[in-house]
Amino acid sequence: MATQQKPVRRPAAPKKGRGTSVPPVAELLLEIGVEELPYQFILHALTELKTQAEFQFAGNRLSFSSVQTYGTPRRLVLVVEGLKTHQDSFITEIIGPSKKVAFDQSGQPTKAAIMFANGKGVPVESLQVKHLPERGEYVVAVKEDEGRPTITILCETLPGVLEDLSFPKAMKWNETGLRFARPVRWIVALFGGKVVPVQIAGINAGNRTFGHRVVGSGKPITVSDFKTYNQGLERQGVIVDPTRRRETIREQVDRLCAKAGVELNTDKALFDQAVYTTEWPYAVLGNFRPEYLDIPSEILITSMKEHQGFFSVRDKKSGKLAPHFIAIANNAPKNMSIIRTGNERVLAARLADAKFFFDEDQKVTLEERAKKLSGVTFHQKLGTMAQKQERIVKLVSIIASALDLDDQLITQCRRAAALCKADLLTGIVGEFPELQGVLGGYYAQHDGESREVCEAIRDQYIPRGMDGALPETIEGLVLGLADRLDTIVAFFLAGIIPKGSEDPFALRRHALSVVRIILEGKIRLDLYKVVEKEKEIVGENGSSVVHDPFSFIIERFRYYMGVTENLRDDVIHAVTGYDTKECDLVDLAGRMRAMQTTTSLPEFDPLMVGFNRANNILKKEGVKKTELPPVNPSLFQDDAERELYAQLTSTEERFDGFLKKHQYQDALQCSVQLKPYIDRFFESVMVNVEDQTLRNNRLSLLRHVVDGFFGKFADFSQIVVQGR
């Protein structure tokens, strides 16, 4: 008997007896009714719910038209349109013995064929003969898997869809042991209008849901499909679709703003919060006492957002914060004044607390607070915040000197660094950590510090990764750069580095901020030397080098250039891989852009053929630059050698001049002009001759081409020939 192979599966042709060529389809409606979910969990849960459903359907050969998810604080909903009521059928072909073994000379099945058929559960007369390329004719057992009804599969898979949902925090609430963000209270599971007889979390699925907790009747709503589900819930105070709730909120907010003559402080995160904390949103305009406007607007806006989830507004004419707010209620009671008054009373208490903290904070200068930073831990392995601030003072001096800033600017940078972390000890920052730096800028202004120092303290935490504006002053750029470099180097030297998706101290974000400050701020700085200096500064506290923070930043630089400028990976690695011991990111970025442009020229790929040939010869010979003597023109025997050397020497001065002026496109054009001379060299000259002196001289000439010329710009061996 022939060795059996893996079964070959293919979709089965529909049987005539089935009535139609395509199985009928139906709608699946799944609702998970829960206690109020935290709004931050809902959007992620809906994304996972859709992904899990699509994965299960694909794995079980269940075709469908579309999958949609909807959610409110009390329900997660899955709607699948056009779901087939039966699995797609499959034909399985199992190869058995050869035809010669399976049938005798009279065409009757042999014992081998009978045993094969019995083993596969098919009649021996149903065996087919199939010609296999390069093997000949073999018998095949053909089995059709007609599939199972979809509702049977749903009973098996729907519990898993729910159980596989993950949340930042989950709980157990009954004996089933299911972990979920909040207790599950009811399940709706309908397929084609019929209940799917499934039990999830100890709850039997049914066809009854519940409306709004306050304005609904409290009685169950019987549904038969998504249409009746949607209509029934809307009558009971629930807008299921988050998109509709968002549109409703936007329309209501716009109407209130127009009436009050104000404009909204747009905040996407706050809008998401409003959408996913309500089932029947209703916007309310409230007021607070104008005297609170004497507090910095950042405090008021943050207090309204973080404590109450209120939107702040600005006067249309002046652009200043207005003494109003917009709250999004979860229902529309007949007497809205009760909601408005309640929100105003709660906010008034919050703002009174904020004003108290702000007034009290100003009674102690930042300089006095800075003396107490030794009591604030930066990290248990890295000492106190006072030690971090001392390191930043040293590093801003190094950076400012490297940038050739004048003495006054260096003094301002050092002063800002000496005060930059003092606001961590203020009451407002203790209440709202996100206002670090911002409040420090205000307090520095109150203390009489210079405008440049105040702005540097204010801007020290921006940008936050890929998003946001840069600091507005050179002092702010230097302080922000020093702060992040200190954080990255200190953690790396302590052996605390990002692993996989884990980055608890946001070091990747800090590295991206470093890259953005340097590139977008056009900071001409040898980053390698600065990182080495920071290693020495951190090392004074007893840390030792464990991992390389410089390489980590360079990886973020590569990522930034690829994402923001769509540069090729080989171009990026060619420029960053040739000599990063002198690392000016602005210079490297310019080289990358020029390199990408030059690689698109039709003559570039042929040039790379010659370059790679020269580089490969040097690699094969295994000789380093220091092992070869200088090129000796008197040893040249062929005109192609003389022409290449002459072109190199005549072009090199212009090439170096272009590099010095950062005219990278012109520099690369010089390299392109070498192409015909490199080609003629390889056409006419034998490198590996027996005369060792002559051989070494030719290798030196190639080394001059590879390292002495091309190598000044980038590692051209990294470039992939595009094959145009």
DSSP string, 119-175: HHTS-GGG-EEEEETTTEEEEEEEEEE---BHHHHHHHHHHHHHHT---SS-B--ST
Does the pTM of the predicted model rise above 0.95?
Answer: no
Q: Which helix (H) or strand (E) holds 630?
A: none
CATH topology of domain 377-566: Hypothetical protein af1432 (1.10.3210)
Which positions ≥6 away from 698 have C-beta within 8 Å?
641, 685, 687, 689
The confidence score (pLDDT) of residue 23 equals 57
Which positions ≥6 away from 430 have C-beta within 8 Å?
none
Domain boundaries, the chain: 25-87+149-236, 92-145, 242-362, 377-566, 592-718
3-state secondary structure of 315: strand
The confidence score (pLDDT) of residue 16 equals 46
- The C-alpha atoms of residue 229 and residue 78 are separated, in whole angstroms, by 12
The 10s digit of each residue's pLDDT in 664-674 is 999 998 888 89
Low-confidence ranges of the chain (pLDDT < 50): 1-9, 13, 16-22, 542-543
Give the relative orientation of helices 549-565 and 527-539 as an angle to the nearest 10 degrees: 140
Domain 592-718 has CATH 1.10.730: yes
The 10s digit of each residue's pLDDT in 41-61 is 999 999 999 999 999 998 888
The confidence score (pLDDT) of residue 5 equals 42
